[in-house]
Amino acid sequence: MESKDNNIKKVYIYIALGALLLLAFLAMDKVVSVLSFIIGVTSPFLVGIIVASLVNVPLKYIEHKIFTKGSKGFRRIISLITTLFVVILILTALLFIVIPQLSSAFSKVVVKLPPLIEKWTDELSSFSFSLPSWLSFIDIDLASIEGNVINTIKSWGSIVVNSSVAIAQTLVQSVITISLALVFAIYMLLKKETLFRHLQSLIKAYTSEYQFKKIIHTGQIVNHTFSKFISTTALEALILGGMFLITMLIFRLPYPFLIASIVSVAAFIPIVGAFVAAFVGILLMLVNVPIDALWFLILFLVLQQIEGNIIYPRVVGDSLGLPGIWVLFSVLVGGSLFGIVGIFLGVPFAAIAYALIREEVKKRLEEQTS
């Protein structure tokens, strides 16, 4: 009788879950807007968790491999200070390489881009007069196309100005969010065992023994997956940045260190980040030697194919136990739903779901064969 009641309860639970999923699917836009609002409100805490997860990877290594003597609390504080110092040192060195070159390069863009746009506009205006006469038989409104292209080029200036204001507002908001996130992150790293014990007690108080073990096991998978994702993404970023640096030095393209640094940082945004770096690189080269922009575009397309189809799925996907096709799928779905945050977190969340489903399938198959 008890087994029958449990089965009926499971059926009701599955029906309720199915109904919730159906409602969520039918009202996907509202679900996404609610989730986006929640993420926006809790962003300092969420960013703090991400920062803590990022810093925790080198922190564990330093704490267990370098500072092995002394009390646990003392080792944690010294290890955290050392880790933060190393991270700040790397970021400072990166900024001293990137910021001066980037500032100088964009100063050239501001000076040289308006004359270039005017030149391209004049060339485009005179282009239609040099077309062969037989094109007049083709039913194409060249004047309309020419006007649209010229208006688009001229509108770039206003777009840049409006974007600058938006960037300034976003920058102020980001500074506040990151400051609060750092406070959360440092506290979580110093008290992670205590926080984990409190969380364990809370879960155990409101769940059965089976549910408690299941939740803890899931948490272990989440922790392992995020740690692997962070370490392998950092490795992939270094590989991609090194590829750009070496090839740009070989082909003597301008700004090799600047663009390689931007590529390495942008690589933390899976797949999409490289395109952002490519846009910056093309823009910088376009105002100096336009032919260099073409060569850089070709180089980028080649390296992007290698990175997107070989390096990222194998380095990140294999380390997470996630097939390459699901890596690409998770990036596309996460990006379409939650933008940059979804792109970054889509892969580890997909890996977690994949690991849990694979484990459950394996368990059910073993039960069927036994």
What residues does each domain of the chain span? Answer: 46-190, 207-370
pLDDT for 134 equals 45
Distance CA 319, CA 333 (A): 21
Q: What is the mean pLDDT of the chain?
A: 76
Distance CA 221, CA 232 (A): 16
Radius of gyration of the chain (CA): 26
- Assess whether pLDDT exceeds 80 at residue 26: no
Report residue 40 CA to chain centroid gap: 17
The tokens 């073409």 sit on which residue? 294
Distance CA 144, CA 150 (A): 10
Amino acid at residue number 80: L
Query: For the segment 261-290, what is each residue's pLDDT rounded down to a tens digit?
Result: 888 888 877 667 777 888 888 888 877 777
The pTM is what?
0.63
The tokens 């267990």 sit on which residue? 64
* Contact status, residue 30 vs residue 37, Cβ threshold 8 Å: no
Q: pLDDT confidence of 370, banded at 50, 70, 90?
A: low
Query: For the segment 109-134, what is each residue's pLDDT rounded down to a tens digit?
Result: 666 666 766 666 666 556 555 555 54
DSSP annotation of 136 reads G
Alpha helices in the chain (DSSP H): 2-26, 28-41, 43-65, 72-127, 142-190, 192-206, 209-250, 256-266, 272-286, 290-306, 312, 318-320, 324-369
Paired tokens of 286: 């376009």
As to burial, measured by CB atoms within 10 angstroms (0-12 exposed, 13-18 middle, 19+ buried), residue 316 is buried
The rounded percent of the chain whose pLDDT value lies above 90 is 1
Query: For the segment 143-188, what is each residue's pLDDT rounded down to a tens digit?
Result: 565 556 556 655 655 555 555 556 666 667 777 777 888 888 888 8
Distance CA 275, CA 281 (A): 10
Mean local confidence (pLDDT), 134-140: 50
Mean local confidence (pLDDT), 21-37: 72
pLDDT for 181 equals 82
Query: For the segment 38-86, what is each residue's pLDDT rounded down to a tens digit?
Result: 777 777 887 788 788 778 878 888 888 888 787 778 888 888 888 888 8
Q: What do you get for the CA distance between the two ends of the chain, in Å?
A: 24
The rounded percent of the chain whose pLDDT value lies above 70 is 73
pLDDT for 166 equals 60
Q: pLDDT confidence of 246, banded at 50, 70, 90?
A: very high
